[in-house]
Amino acid sequence: MNEVTKKKRAVVLVSGGLDSATTLAIARAEGYDCFALSFDYGQRHVAELAAADRVTDMLGVAEHKRVYLDLGTIGGSALTEACIDVPKDGVQPDTIPVTYVPARNTVFLSIALGWAEVLGAQDIFIGVNAVDYSGYPDCRPAFIRAFEQVANLATRAGVEGQHFHIHTPLIDLSKAEIIRMGTDLGIDYARTISCYDADIKGQACGECDSCRLRRQGFAAAGLPDPTLYR
């Protein structure tokens, strides 16, 4: 292949939510050949995985891989354990919610790193953002920088002098800014699902933290909310 025309490859974590869809659109707009990675990790609903398929179809990717990983066997989160209820009484400031999945982003980034190494990619995109990192420790910039350090020490590519970069294009954006940016990039957010408790048809509950932040985001962006609520 001609090196001049060869696009740089990136692995993009795609959950099927609003944030990861926007992240994928940004990676594409930046000129990367995108390899989307989704996880079937024992989350409560398969609607999210169906949304990931719609998002990658909508935006276009070089490849979309789904890795099965049963984080539910480890437990500890309302997103993977049926016996813990998803809270619906509003976002609590300064606390880590029960929807936190222990070490989830570390696990996801590790597998993305392995695939990136196989693909010869040095760029990994993840849609963590400011709204999340008030609650989830593994959405903070310090965590991302520490993981980059691990990536460079853990891999053959790192030993050979390549430098992995974990891109977090949404990290400093508000939900409204993310929605405006994605809309400008042509995303149809009706195809995404953010709800922690979506039903089998992909209809959102409208009451969990994720639904509340999403709904407020559309309102603040001054755009109609295309989410299908039940």
Give the separation between CA 141 and CA 147, rounded to whole angstroms.
10
Residues contacting a second copy: total by CB under 8 A: 43
Q: Which of 126, 185, 178, 186 is nearest to 151 (CA)?
A: 126
Task: Determine, following the binding rule CB under 8 A, whether residue 91 of this chain makes contact with a second copy.
Answer: no
Q: Which residue has the tokens 């696009």?
A: 7
For residues 185-224, which are near a second copy according to CB under 8 A? Answer: none
Taking the least distance from each CB to a second copy, the nearer of 1 and 153 is 153
Taking the least distance from each CB to a second copy, the nearer of 4 and 142 is 142
Element (H, E) at 54: helix 47-59
For residues 122-181, which are near a second copy according to CB under 8 A? Answer: 137-138, 140, 142-143, 146-147, 149-151, 153-156, 158-159
Taking the least distance from each CB to a second copy, the nearer of 134 and 203 is 134
C-alpha torsion sign, points 155, 156, 159, 162: negative
Which of 58, 84, 103, 176 lies at the binding interface for a second copy (CB under 8 A)?
103
Q: Which residue has the tokens 């659109």?
A: 25
Pull the structure tokens for residue 132: 């999340």
Which of 71, 124, 128, 198 lies at the binding interface for a second copy (CB under 8 A)?
71
- Binding mask 106-125 vs a second copy (x if CB under 8 A, - otherwise)? xx-xxx-xxx-xx-------
Residue 59 near residue 28 (C-beta atoms within 8 A)? yes
Number of C-alpha atoms within 13 angstroms, CB side, residue 113? 24
For residues 5-64, which are near a second copy according to CB under 8 A? Answer: none
Give residue 123's identity as a one-letter amino acid code.
D
Footprint of a second copy on this chain (CB under 8 A)?
A: 65, 67-71, 73-76, 96, 100-107, 109-111, 113-115, 117-118, 137-138, 140, 142-143, 146-147, 149-151, 153-156, 158-159
